[in-house]
């Protein structure tokens, strides 16, 4: 790399009477940038200074001091001249009359795209502040998925703003601090930018809870003096012991920040006096072997606390972090937190993804970290492509930024990382979307468990699938990963749409028959002609609206007929004479819980807006009470091939004797019927009891078979099927 004469540049800058912020930026950039790079940087600075002329920050400083400070933060990671130039220009499109086209013509495509990715959407009107925030994050993260330098600039921008937040009025200060705590700090953590993550957390805490911050800061200052001798003693003993074992290392101690102490107090319900491990110790060694040798040495010095050891070297975090963590009982029973890592691991721990630029001259391999980050960014792109709203996209992002993780094994022994509290369904979708959609059961450590069971580190998880299986909407109540939540919603939405189209096709068929159009063809042209009348919706969308009760079938049928040249149409939608019910139509069809119709029962249906087709038995008393001039009853019938089990309730009067419930349940199971629930109630006398079973049968013949089997049991006195008011 061509290097510049830093003394010559410094002298020229001093002579030009530039600001201290610019002097600091160029002095640091001159260490690793070439002359041509510095020329680009100076050009960007002058452009930004001119564009922001007359603008001042709340602190009273010229506005250009802010982008200059942002670029200076980025020099800590030795980012390239294009990124530093974009940092200097990141507010000119948003806050001045400068356009993206001007930046592109003067500084090139890359700088222009970086600036555009960071810029907010202030020129666009949104319905609410929440929607504006969501759309800003959406745009920024999509730009980040194309070039990760966008988020590095944005994080540096947010860090400098947080450092100077005190001057802002309280309401805005709280909003910015909350946003930083919920979004920016977790993103920094996800990218492995540990120093940025901790400082953003600390600054957010300071502004969100100023009184708590002051109290804990004061207590830390007092404790620092009381424990100084103890800390120095531990440092000396540790360094001496490692030297005796001939382990080349450096040992340092650091005080936990205020937020870390507060979080421990809150999570474990401790007072400050009960938080002993406010100091952490770090051991830096030359190689991985020395990490484990140092660990053994420390465990000889002080007793390790059971369950407080984590090996992030063998199983790195998703953000690339690697280290050994152990908590020991030090002098006077004081807990000591130790971190052991190599120099390279330490660099990645401090700078995360940005260490790609910081260490690229050394040839450090960050392939795994880059790959994991790329996969995460690609998952954001996939969610963006299929998510309808920016607020839903932001919801997925919030869910995906949980910092706590568990590590589990696949049946093949591969290690997978998932958020804390992730369930078997989350694991299934993490393996593959199709696996998640077809999940029917799960095993943890070879034992069958509920799909909502949370998985723990070290678990071996196996997913059982079936081709006919579909996701259940109740899964949304317990899944925690963004991918699982998004995939379930997407699949359910498609299922409902397909089912509504099928049902709408049958209902429209009946409407056409009512208009005597069953013997003539409806071509594609009439459908195209009526789309404008129905808000430019395509054929399947119109059919879906019919199936969900949003559009009247008779209106669509008449519109189709009016468009045909002969004013006649033939029903090609369905060859039957009635709407045929299979039972598997799903969310577009609902069976009345009052009468629980099953195949073989005479049935009738009506449309309910937003729900679809509701099916009742002919003699349903509750249906009779609902019929008025606004409800049009539809002619429906059971299909010959129903493909599910239907719920029905039966009431049994049985004699009071031991084991009768078990015998009845066994007989119901023997006839291939599934028991959903059983409720026992006292009978008319002490000699008899009443039991109400909710069971599932295929049809009336199946129910008759169940009843015949139950009548063979001597203890069963009477059997009735419950419908209508009898079920109350």
Q: Could you write out the DSSP letters of every residue in 204-227? A: HHHHHSHHHHHHHHHHHHHHHHHH
Work out the average pLDDT over 304-332: 83
With cut-offs at 50, 70 and 90, classify the pLDDT of residue 368: low
d(CA 600, CA 209): 66
DSSP letters of 106-137? Answer: HH-HHHHHHHHHHS--TTS--SSHHHHHHHHH
Q: What is the pLDDT of residue 531?
A: 65
Question: Could you tell me which residue, 297 or 723, shows the higher pLDDT?
Answer: 297
With cut-offs at 50, 70 and 90, classify the pLDDT of residue 600: confident
307 φψ region: left (φ > 0), alpha (ψ -120 to 50), beta (else):
left
Work out the average pLDDT over 448-458: 85
pLDDT at 428 over 90: yes
CB 213 within 8 A of CB 205: yes
pLDDT at 153 over 50: yes
Q: What is the pLDDT of residue 85?
A: 93
Residue 284: name the closest of 244, 336, 238, 231 by CA.
238
Highest-pLDDT range among 6-10, 366-370, 384-388, 411-415: 411-415
d(CA 110, CA 419): 35
Q: What is the pLDDT of residue 391?
A: 56
d(CA 188, CA 194): 7
Residue 616: name the closest of 630, 629, 631 by CA.
631
Highest-pLDDT range among 239-243, 388-392, 543-547, 613-617: 239-243
Highest-pLDDT range among 161-165, 275-279, 515-519: 161-165
Q: What is the pLDDT of residue 553?
A: 73
Highest-pLDDT range among 107-111, 569-573, 579-583: 107-111
Q: What is the pLDDT of residue 574?
A: 39
d(CA 404, CA 454): 14
Residues 6+ apart with CB under 8 A from 227: 278, 279
Q: Classify residue 606 by its DSSP letter.
A: E
d(CA 357, CA 39): 20
Question: Could you tell me which residue, 159 or 267, shows the higher pLDDT?
Answer: 159
Strands of the sheet with 249-255, listed across from one edge: 249-255, 279-285, 335-342, 324-329, 303-311
Angle at 648 between CA 647 and CA 649, to 5 degrees: 135
d(CA 416, CA 431): 9
Residue with tokens 């203890």: 715
Work out the average pLDDT over 145-155: 80
Percent of the chain at pLDDT > 90 equals 13
What average pLDDT does the structure give for the chain? 77
With cut-offs at 50, 70 and 90, classify the pLDDT of residue 69: very high
d(CA 624, CA 598): 19
Q: What is the pLDDT of residue 572?
A: 34
For each of the domains in the chain, give its residue range(s) and CATH number, in order of start.
Answer: 6-208 (1.10.3210.10), 211-362 (3.30.460.10), 371-489 (3.10.20.30), 491-638 (no CATH), 646-727 (3.30.70.260)
With cut-offs at 50, 70 and 90, classify the pLDDT of residue 631: low
d(CA 21, CA 67): 10
Question: Could you tell me which residue, 319 or 601, shows the higher pLDDT?
Answer: 601
d(CA 554, CA 571): 13
- Number of residues written out for the chain: 728
Q: What secondary structure, in 3-state letters, does 98-110 show?
A: CCHHHHHHHHCHH
Both tokens of residue 67?
Answer: 């982008």
Count of Cβ atoms closer than 10 Å to residue 173 Cβ: 17
Q: Which residues are the active-site residues?
A: 94-95
d(CA 85, CA 46): 11
Choice among 52-61, 267-276, 557-566, 615-624 with the minimum mean pLDDT: 557-566
- How would you classify the pairing of strands 335-342 and 279-285? parallel
Work out the average pLDDT over 103-114: 90
Looking at the DSSP bridge assignments, the partners of residue 136 are none
Work out the average pLDDT over 253-269: 79
Q: What is the pLDDT of residue 7?
A: 47
With cut-offs at 50, 70 and 90, classify the pLDDT of residue 291: very high
d(CA 139, CA 83): 18
d(CA 586, CA 324): 51
Long-range contacts of 151-155 (CB under 8 A, 24+ apart): 151/187, 151/191, 152/74, 152/77, 152/79, 152/83, 152/353, 152/354, 153/70, 153/74, 153/83, 153/86, 153/87, 153/90, 153/114, 153/118, 154/118, 154/184, 155/184, 155/187, 155/188, 155/193, 155/196, 155/200
Q: What secondary structure, in 3-state letters, does 268-317 show?
A: HCCCHHHCCCCEEEEEEECCHHHHHHHHHHHHHHCEEEEEEEEECCCCCC
d(CA 283, CA 230): 18
Task: Write the CA distances from 555 to 505, 545, 610, integer angstroms.
Answer: 14, 12, 17
Question: Could you tell me which residue, 54 or 634, shows the higher pLDDT?
Answer: 54
445 φψ region: left (φ > 0), alpha (ψ -120 to 50), beta (else):
left
Choice among 108-117, 233-242, 582-591 with the minimum mean pLDDT: 582-591
Question: Could you tell me which residue, 159 or 475, shows the higher pLDDT?
Answer: 159
Highest-pLDDT range among 187-201, 430-444, 594-608: 430-444
State CA 693 to chain mean position distance: 40
Both tokens of residue 222?
Answer: 């007092």
Q: What is the pLDDT of residue 339?
A: 92
Residue 248's SS3 state is coil
pLDDT at 107 over 80: yes
State the sign of the Cα–Cα–Cα–Cα dihedral 607, 608, 614, 616: negative
Work out the average pLDDT over 290-303: 90
Question: Could you tell me which residue, 152 or 509, shows the higher pLDDT?
Answer: 152
CB 726 within 8 A of CB 701: no
CA atoms within 13 Å, Cβ hemisphere of 725 = 4
Work out the average pLDDT over 614-625: 77
pLDDT at 73 over 70: yes
Residue 165's SS3 state is helix
Work out the average pLDDT over 199-225: 86
- The pTM score is 0.55
Strands of the sheet with 716-722, listed across from one edge: 674-682, 688-697, 646-655, 716-722
d(CA 452, CA 644): 24
With cut-offs at 50, 70 and 90, classify the pLDDT of residue 234: confident
Q: What is the pLDDT of residue 203?
A: 93
Q: What is the pLDDT of residue 596?
A: 86
Q: What is the pLDDT of residues 503-533, one digit of tens each?
A: 777 777 777 766 655 434 455 556 666 666 6
Residue 528: name the closest of 544, 539, 513, 515 by CA.
539
d(CA 259, CA 544): 52
Q: What is the pLDDT of residues 5-48, one digit of tens each?
A: 444 544 454 444 467 888 888 888 888 888 888 999 999 999 99
Q: What is the pLDDT of residue 84?
A: 93
């Amino acid at each position: 790399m061509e290097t510049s004469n830093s003394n010559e540049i410094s002298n020229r800058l001093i002579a030009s009477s530039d600001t201290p912020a610019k002097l600091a930026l160029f002095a640091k950039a001159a260490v690793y940038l070439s002359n041509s790079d510095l020329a680009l940087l100076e050009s960007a600075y002058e452009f930004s200074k001119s564009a922001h002329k007359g603008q001042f920050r709340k602190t009273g400083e010229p506005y250009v001091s802010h982008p200059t400070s942002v670029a200076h933060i980025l020099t800590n990671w030795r980012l390239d001249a294009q990124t530093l130039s974009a940092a200097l220009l990141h507010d000119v499109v948003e806050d001045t009359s400068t356009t993206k086209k001007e930046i592109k013509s003067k500084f090139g495509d890359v700088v222009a795209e970086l600036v555009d990715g960071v810029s907010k959407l202030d020129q666009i009107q949104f319905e609410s502040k929440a929607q504006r925030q969501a759309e800003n994050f959406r745009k920024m993260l999509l730009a980040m998925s194309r070039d990760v330098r966008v988020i590095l600039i944005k994080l540096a921008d947010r860090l400098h703003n947080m450092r100077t937040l005190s001057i802002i009025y309280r309401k805005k200060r709280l909003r910015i601090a909350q946003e930083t705590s919920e979004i920016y700090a977790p993103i920094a953590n996800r990218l492995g930018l540990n120093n940025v993550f901790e400082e953003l957390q600390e600054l957010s805490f300071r502004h969100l809870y100023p009184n708590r911050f002051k109290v804990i800061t004061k207590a830390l200052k007092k404790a620092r003096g009381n424990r100084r001798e103890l800390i120095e003693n531990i440092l000396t003993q540790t360094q001496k012991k490692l030297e005796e074992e001939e382990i080349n290392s450096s040992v340092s101690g650091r005080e936990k920040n205020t937020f870390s102490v507060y979080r421990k107090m809150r999570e474990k319900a401790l007072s400050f006096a009960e938080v002993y491990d406010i100091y952490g110790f770090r051991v830096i060694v030359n190689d991985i072997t020395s990490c484990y040798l140092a660990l053994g040495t420390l465990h000889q010095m002080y007793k390790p606390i059971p369950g407080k050891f984590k090996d992030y070297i063998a199983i790195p975090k998703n953000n690339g972090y690697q280290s050994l963590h152990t908590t020991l009982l030090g002098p006077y029973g004081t807990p000591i937190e130790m971190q052991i890592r190599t120099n390279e691991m330490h660099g990645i721990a401090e700078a995360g993804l940005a260490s790609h630029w910081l260490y690229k001259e050394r040839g450090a391999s960050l392939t795994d970290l880059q790959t994991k980050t790329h996969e995460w960014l690609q998952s954001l792109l996939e969610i963006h492509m299929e998510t309808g709203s920016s607020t839903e996209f932001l919801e997925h992002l919030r869910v995906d930024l949980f910092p706590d993780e568990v590590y589990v094994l696949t049946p093949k022994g591969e290690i997978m990382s998932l958020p804390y509290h992730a369930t078997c369904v989350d694991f299934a979708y993490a393996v593959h979307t199709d696996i998640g959609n077809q999940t029917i059961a799960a095993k943890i450590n070879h034992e069958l468990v509920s799909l909502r069971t949370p998985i723990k580190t070290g678990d071996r998880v196996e997913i059982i699938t079936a081709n006919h299986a579909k996701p259940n909407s109740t899964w949304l109540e317990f899944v925690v990963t963004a991918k699982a939540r998004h995939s379930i919603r997407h699949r359910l939405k498609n299922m409902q749409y397909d089912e509504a189209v099928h049902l709408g096709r049958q209902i429209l068929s009946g409407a056409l028959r009512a208009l005597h159009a069953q013997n003539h063809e409806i071509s594609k042209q009439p459908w195209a002609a009526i789309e404008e009348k129905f808000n430019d919706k395509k054929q399947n969308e119109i059919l879906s609206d019919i199936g969900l009760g949003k559009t009247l079938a008779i209106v669509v049928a008449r519109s189709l007929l009016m468009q045909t040249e002969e004013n006649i149409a033939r029903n090609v939608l369905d060859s039957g004479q009635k709407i045929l019910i299979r039972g598997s139509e799903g969310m577009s069809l609902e069976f009345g819980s009052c009468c629980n119709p099953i195949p073989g029962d005479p049935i009738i249906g009506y449309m309910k807006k937003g729900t679809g087709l509701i099916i009742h038995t002919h003699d349903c008393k509750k249906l009779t009470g609902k019929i008025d001039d606004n409800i049009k009853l539809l002619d429906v019938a059971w299909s010959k091939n129903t493909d599910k089990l239907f719920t029905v309730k039966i009431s049994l009067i049985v004699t009071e004797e031991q084991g009768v419930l078990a015998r009845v349940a066994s007989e119901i199971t023997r006839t291939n019927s599934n028991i959903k629930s059983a409720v026992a109630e006292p009978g008319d006398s002490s000699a008899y009891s009443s039991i109400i079973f909710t069971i599932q049968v295929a049809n009336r013949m199946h129910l008759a078979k169940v009843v015949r089997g139950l009548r063979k049991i001597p203890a069963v006195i009477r059997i009735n099927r419950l419908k209508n008011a009898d079920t109350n």
